[in-house]
Amino acid sequence: MGIENRVALITGSASGIGKKTAFRMAQNGAKVVINDIVADNVEQTVDEFKKEGLAVIGKVADITKKVEVDRMMNETVETLGSLDILVNNAGMERAGALRNLTEADWDITINVNLKGAFLCSQAAHNHMVSQNYGRIINIASRAWLGGAGQAPYSSAKAGVVGLTRVLALELGRKGVTANCVAPGLIHTPLWDDLPEKNKAFLLSKQPTGKLGDVDDIANAVMFLADDQSGYITAQVLYVCGGRSLYSG
């Protein structure tokens, strides 16, 4: 029941939302794979988790590179025996007005958020289909609905929603579900660095008047990753304090 003894790989999990999600999944009995592009952070995260007595291994890989992704998935299955849960969490944003955005801004944002989710899902689904079981959870964003200054990011996250629906339709018959969690404003270190003026502006558009925390996202991911969530697929679960309804 739950996620106990399941092998869960969370991309970009040496920081922020991914790290907390990985931690909570490990606490709940999953065997967790920490992935990130920043090797030092992977090592440090694995050490931290091990000190807490949690089952964890680390895999450094750039999810925008097919060879690195394929190697990571194969090594995971070799070491831990299977791959049951994939959380496509690694992401980043280059924001700016249309006229200021560069081709490089577009490419990197699309590559990390969208191509990375595609490559990881493609590599993971082979293992999931062969065992007739899998849970894919893609971290999209409330911002997929569109936001001024967010052309590459909104486009990438909208792509993630479309990808999720395709995965659900293609893999449903093989016991694999695919869903999105769409976070709104979440309290991560990035937030603390914002000027007070920006914080006040963002909060004024928030129906709850509050930020969410990383645990709110971890909870949603664990709900969807559960053994017993097999009848839930192709969905977008917004964890955004009502921001998807209203932008003031």
Ligand X SMILES: NC(=O)c1ccc[n+]([C@@H]2O[C@H](COP(=O)([O-])OP(=O)(O)OC[C@H]3O[C@@H](n4cnc5c(N)ncnc54)[C@H](O)[C@@H]3O)[C@@H](O)[C@H]2O)c1
Smallest distance, Å, CB 19 to ligand X? 7
From other proteins, ligand X, none, interface partner of 101 (C-beta below 5 to 8 A by class)? none
Burial category of 92 from C-beta neighbours within 10 Å (exposed 0-12, middle 13-18, buried 19 and up): middle
Contact between 234 and other proteins (CB under 8 A)? yes
Nearer CB in complex with other proteins: 96/172: 172
Alpha helices in 15-150 (DSSP H): 16-27, 39-51, 66-80, 103-110, 116-131
Q: How many CB atoms lie within 10 A of CB 227?
A: 13
Interacting residues of 108 by C-beta distance below 8 A, sequence separation 6+: 92, 94
Q: Contact region for other proteins (CB under 8 A) — 42-50, 131-139, 149-157, 238-246? A: 238-246
Q: Which is nearer to ligand X, 64 or 121 (CB)?
A: 64
Residue 28 Rama label (left phi>0; alpha psi -120 to 50; beta): alpha
Of 153, 231, 238, 246, the catalytic one is 153
- Other Cβ atoms closer than 10 A to 147: 15
Binders in 163-182 for other proteins, by CB under 8 A: 165, 168-169, 172-173, 177
Q: How far apart are CA 84 and CA 137, in angstroms?
A: 11
Q: Which residues bind ligand X (CB under 6 A)?
A: 11-12, 14-18, 36-38, 62-64, 89-92, 112, 116, 139, 141, 183, 185-186, 188
Q: What is the dihedral of CA 127, 231, 18, 126, to 10 degrees?
A: 10
Q: In whole angstroms, how close is the CB of 117 to other proteins at the nearest point?
A: 17
Residue 231 annotated in active site? no
**What is d(CA 8, CA 159) in angstroms, rounded to the nearest whole number?**
23
Specify the residue, 63 or 168, whose C-beta has the smaller distance to ligand X: 63
| 213 binding other proteins? (CB under 8 A) | yes
Task: Cite the active site residues.
Answer: 153
Residues near other proteins (CB under 8 A):
2, 28, 161, 165, 168-169, 172-173, 177, 184, 207-210, 212-213, 216, 219-220, 222-223, 226, 228-242, 244-246
